[in-house]
Structure 1
Amino acid sequence: MSARDDELIYAGKVDYGFDKASVVDLHKRLTPQIGKTQPYTNRIEHKTIWVAPKLIVEIE
């Protein structure tokens, strides 16, 4: 995902590589933020669960 002005633009996906404890923790933190609509300007066709973008991460 990248930001262009006030739009969110889908930029691809990555493999997550989390251990089981991290997945459980992340699921617990993200579940309350599940949204009903896609946040992107262009619709994404694959099945996805959308959450409010409140957590910040750095992926290398």
Structure 2
Amino acid sequence: MASLGFTDVVGLVGVAAYVTAHFAVQVLHKPPAGAFVVRLNLVGPICILISLMGAFNLASF
């Protein structure tokens, strides 16, 4: 079984941030322009771009 590297973990954190933001808007009825959702939507792509430094994937970019 392969172990996860630093960039893999950062990418997973980014995906979790995206999913949490969408969950907050859809299920918890948080405002999409609220600070919580906006911060998660900033953390998500930043983490995913950092993860792409380890193994670039054009489709993800």
Higher relative contact order (CA 8 A, sep 6+): 2
Q: Normalising to structure 1: TM-score of the pair?
A: 0.25
Instruction: Please identify which structure carries the higher strand content.
Output: 1
Calculate the TM-score normalised by the size of structure 2: 0.25
